[in-house]
Amino acid sequence: MGRASAFALHRAGTWRNAALQGVEEAEASGYMGPIMTKHFTIRLPDGSVRQVEEGTTPADVAAAIGPGLAKAALAARVNGELRDLNRPFEGDAELALVTARDEAEALELARHDFAHVLAEAVQNLFPGTQITFGPSTDDGFYYDFAPTPERGPFTEEDLPAIEEEMRRVIARDEPLIREVWARDEVRAFFLKQGEAFKAEWVMELPAEETITMYRSGGWLDLCRGPHLASTGKLDPQAFKLTRVSGAYWRGDQKNAMLSRIYGTGWLNKKQLAEHLTRLEEAAKRDHRRIGQDMDLFHLQAEAHGSVFWHPQGFIIWRQLEAYMRRRLDAAGYAEVKTPQVMDARQWEQSGHWGKYRENMFVIPDEVPNTEEEGPVITGDADWMALKPMNCPAHVLIFRQGIKSYRDLPIRLAEMGVCHRNEPHGALHGILRVRQFTQDDAHIFCREDQIVDEVRQFLDLLDAVYRDLGFPDYQIKLALRPEKRFGSEEMWDWSEQSLRDAVVASGRDKPEFGWEELPGEGAFYAPKLEFHLTDAIGRTWQVGTIQTDTVLPERLDAAYVAEDGQKHRPVMLHRAILGSFERFIGILIEHHAGRFPLWLAPVQAVVATIVSEADDYAREVLAKLEAAGIRAEADLRNEKINYKVREHSLKKVPNLLVVGKREAEEGTVALRPLGTDARQEVLSVDALVARLAAEATPPDLR
Ligand SMILES: [Zn+2]
Ligand SMILES: [Zn+2]
């Protein structure tokens, strides 16, 4: 047994003296020995200060403040570090107690605990199963197991029994005790238990790392922590196991295949119920399913992560692209097109070869004739790479010809097709792909122009998001990370310029979710991030703008300033949609396939009730097409209800029903999508005028 747990037992008997009665009394009692006892000064967020004896824990301080807080406290922030409630102070400290009100932290702690409870439950039910890792995730947790060969991988059928066992573990309310162990002890312990994975892992932890084990009753796991004080702090009704999948040990295909169990975990039953409703809603909106129903695109294994756009899907793309072009033209951008493949030397110079090579598709400059020279391409080949980003190519355009300060700013835009070699497992529909088209642009400007350029960009982005149905978005400023290039001075002015631009645009307000995120900038520059809120409350980071002085330096971009000397321009990298693929995926899920009329692939279908109306339907169709409306006629000999169902599934926004009567009167019965049987009878001219107005893109209205 490690030292810390012996210490914990000792502490449990003594804390009341120390924390409640004060230092002098405790010393006078001689309980811990007056000479050996150290005292620490603990400062609370309200500014109050407490003296405590060595061995006192944050839980003790909470209890000393009051029984309510003792019950509510979940963990502690000690000098900024999240820790167990029962881990004794090691010196003077700033202490903040974490309760369920600190939702993000409380959730993360609970999810990590759920992962441990899951592992313990699985080992209780399936002896011989080995444990590996189990982190918290955005909505819950997972744990990777190595089941015994006889047992085989877990399946969804196992989940109810495991959930039940997890509830039993929670009900036992075992304290989660942190123990410091020696590395060899841990290894020996796990080897004895037949836990090869944990035994392997502990030997690879950094030498300086304090190795901790967490004990819950008789069960132990190697873990950094922190954890809640006991399993009973978890709400047994606030989690659900959701699915199982395969996962390689340490994410490497060469290693053993493990069995991963996922769960979602929350602080209470209500949160879980809300989450499950959101999941259901999200499943209904899944862009892959709607993409198939509407025949927009498909993906197949022969082109992992690259989208096959079908005619209907590409109509959405073309509308969006044409819209963005009009917006960029009006905002003073010049559009360019740059090479798809460039020499490795170019990528070396830009720094991508060193930092980014594993994500790049690399190809030989000249492919040997396989008959004469054999099929092997050697390491001596001259290498080229598919561009993972457009930035270096835009600098190369900027460098053509001498630029003067009067030429700046220069705004180069490109609907740039990029490739990144993402692992298959990371791909997700059209939201995470390998080939994507950015709405990319780079603004080359002087330092004194940054604020104004960024402010103009904010106005452009705001107009685009509103037009596309996202009036709610949040602006974040990601500040300098710990590991970074460039001088402190550069970071100071670039962060301040971005901040000033947001203030100048009047968007430094809570309704824009305005906040600064320390440490989250890119290694070469700070950036503004834009997060959209969709119809079911999910957020998506899409747009970004960042300042950059590194790439102009590396690629030797310069302009002649007023003083006649060469100066480096600042480069602003910016995107509004991010990529067309992902943005269309977000649009599909946000609108659940019911696109605003100007984006809808098919805007109206003329459907006949009887074949006598066929000629009339063709006339109506011709008038719609003449007005530029994307329309089709459905003259099939099918029941009208059948036609309605089919076009509803394809999310056709307007169904125009025509029968004998409409043909005689020169009218149509308009049935907008989702209005069931409600319909409105209109003259053809009135209908065409109404749809044409509604189908006009927002920037042209
Ligand atoms: Zn853990
Ligand atoms: Zn860029």
Task: Please report the pLDDT score of residue 603 as a whole number.
Answer: 98
Q: In angstroms, what is the span from residue 390 Cα to ligand 2's centroid?
A: 6
Please report which ligand is nearest the Cα atom of 216.
Answer: 1
Q: Is the pLDDT of residue 341 over 50?
A: yes
* Listed residues: CB within 5 A of ion ligand 2: 391, 573
Q: Find the Cα–Cα–Cα–Cα dihedral 386, 390, 396, 402, rounded to 10°.
A: 170
Tell me which residue of 98, 109, 139 sits closest to 239, measured CA to CA. 139
Tell me which residue of 66, 99, 70 sits closest to 82, measured CA to CA. 99
- pTM assigned to the model: 0.77
Report which residue type is found at 311: P
Q: In angstroms, what is the span from residue 545 Cα to ligand 2's centroid?
A: 9
Q: Is the pLDDT of residue 486 over 90?
A: no
Percentage of the chain with pLDDT > 90?
81
Task: Please report the pLDDT score of residue 5 as a whole number.
Answer: 36
Percentage of the chain with pLDDT > 70?
93
Q: In angstroms, what is the span from residue 342 Cα to ligand 1's centroid?
A: 46
Q: In angstroms, what is the span from residue 224 Cα to ligand 1's centroid?
A: 6
Q: In angstroms, what is the span from residue 389 Cα to ligand 2's centroid?
A: 7
Q: In angstroms, what is the span from residue 84 Cα to ligand 2's centroid?
A: 43
Report which residue type is found at 81: E
Task: Please report the pLDDT score of residue 679 as a whole number.
Answer: 85
Please report which ligand is nearest the Cα atom of 214.
Answer: 1
Mean pLDDT of all residues in 22-30? 39
**How confident is residue 677, by pLDDT bands cut at 50, 70 and 90?**
low
Please report which ligand is nearest the Cα atom of 212.
Answer: 1
Identify the DSSP state of 683: E
Report which residue type is found at 166: M
- C-alpha 304/C-alpha 419 separation (Å) is 12
Q: In angstroms, what is the span from residue 420 Cα to ligand 1's centroid?
A: 33
Q: In angstroms, what is the span from residue 176 Cα to ligand 1's centroid?
A: 10
Task: Please report the pLDDT score of residue 357 as a whole number.
Answer: 87
Q: Which run of H or E residues covers position 607?
A: strand 604-608
Q: Which residues on neighbouring strands pair with residue 559, listed in sequence order?
A: 567
Q: In angstroms, what is the span from residue 212 Cα to ligand 1's centroid?
A: 10
pLDDT tens per residue, range 98-148: 998 999 999 999 999 999 999 999 999 999 999 998 999 989 999 999 999
Residues that are catalytic: 391, 420, 438, 440, 442, 527, 573
Sheet with 341-343, edge to edge strand ranges: 341-343, 383-386, 362-364
Please report which ligand is nearest the Cα atom of 84.
Answer: 1
Q: In angstroms, what is the span from residue 395 Cα to ligand 2's centroid?
A: 10
Q: Is the pLDDT of residue 4 over 50?
A: no
Q: Is the pLDDT of residue 570 over 80?
A: yes
pLDDT tens per residue, range 278-330: 889 999 999 999 999 999 999 999 999 999 999 999 999 999 999 999 999 99
Please report which ligand is nearest the Cα atom of 555.
Answer: 2
Identify the DSSP state of 521: S
Identify the DSSP state of 485: -
Report which residue type is found at 245: S
Please report which ligand is nearest the Cα atom of 388.
Answer: 2
Q: In angstroms, what is the span from residue 599 Cα to ligand 2's centroid?
A: 28
Q: In angstroms, what is the span from residue 393 Cα to ligand 2's centroid?
A: 9
Structure-model confidence comparison of residues 3 and 414, the more confident one: 414
Tokens representing 682? 């209109």
Tokens representing 564? 């006649």
- C-alpha 664/C-alpha 661 separation (Å) is 5
Please report which ligand is nearest the Cα atom of 131.
Answer: 1
Please report which ligand is nearest the Cα atom of 414.
Answer: 2
Tokens representing 423? 């692992």
**How confident is residue 382, by pLDDT bands cut at 50, 70 and 90?**
confident
- In three-state secondary structure terms, 664 is helix
Q: In angstroms, what is the span from residue 515 Cα to ligand 1's centroid?
A: 31
Tokens representing 479? 């500040």
Please report which ligand is nearest the Cα atom of 118.
Answer: 1
**Helix (H), strand (E), coil (C) string for 229-284:** CEHHHCCCCCEEEEEEEEEEHHHCCCCCEEEEEEEEECCCHHHHHHHHHHHHHHHH
Report the relative pairing of strands 473-478 and 515-517 from DSSP bridges: parallel
Task: Please report the pLDDT score of residue 369 as a whole number.
Answer: 66
Q: Is the pLDDT of residue 553 over 60?
A: yes
What is the CA angle 521-525-531, rounded to 5? 45
Please report which ligand is nearest the Cα atom of 222.
Answer: 1
Backbone angles phi, psi at 139, to 5 degrees: -130, 10
Q: In angstroms, what is the span from residue 440 Cα to ligand 2's centroid?
A: 7
Write the CA distances from 599 to 469, 554, 671, 681, integer angstroms.
Answer: 11, 41, 19, 25
Write the CA distances from 497 to 447, 492, 513, 526, 528, integer angstroms.
Answer: 9, 9, 19, 10, 11
Q: In angstroms, what is the span from residue 271 Cα to ligand 1's centroid?
A: 23
Mean pLDDT of all residues in 572-591? 97
What burial letters (b/e) apply to 315-330, b meaning 16+ CB within 10 Å? bbbebbbebbeebbee
Omega before 175 within 30 of 0, i.e. cis = no
Q: In angstroms, what is the span from residue 534 Cα to ligand 2's centroid?
A: 26
Q: In angstroms, what is the span from residue 574 Cα to ligand 2's centroid?
A: 7
Beta carbons within 8 Å of 582's beta carbon, 6+ residues apart = 430, 431, 432, 433, 436, 542
Report which residue type is found at 260: R
Task: Please report the pLDDT score of residue 343 as a whole number.
Answer: 92
Q: In angstroms, what is the span from residue 213 Cα to ligand 1's centroid?
A: 9
- Ramachandran sector of residue 669 (left: φ over 0; alpha: ψ -120 to 50; beta: rest): beta
